[in-house]
Amino acid sequence: MHAIIFCGIQASGKSTFYREHFFNTHMRISLDLLRTRNRENRFLELCLQTQLPFVVDNTNPTAAERARYIALAKAARYKVTCYFFESSSKDALLRNSTRTGRFLVPPKGIFGTHKKLQTPQLEEGYDSLYRVKLLPSGNYEVDLIATQEAL
pLDDT of residue 150: 58
pLDDT of residue 2: 97
Give residue 93's pLDDT: 85
**Record: fold of 2-150:** Rossmann fold (3.40.50)
Consecutive sets of 10 residues in the chain, 151 residues long: mean pLDDT of each? 97 95 98 93 97 98 98 98 96 86 85 96 97 92 89 51
Domain residue spans in the chain? 2-150
Q: Which long-range contacts (CB under 8 A, 24 or more apart) does 32-36 make?
A: 32/57, 32/58, 32/103, 33/57
pLDDT in tens, 28-69: 999 988 999 999 999 999 999 999 999 999 999 999 999 999
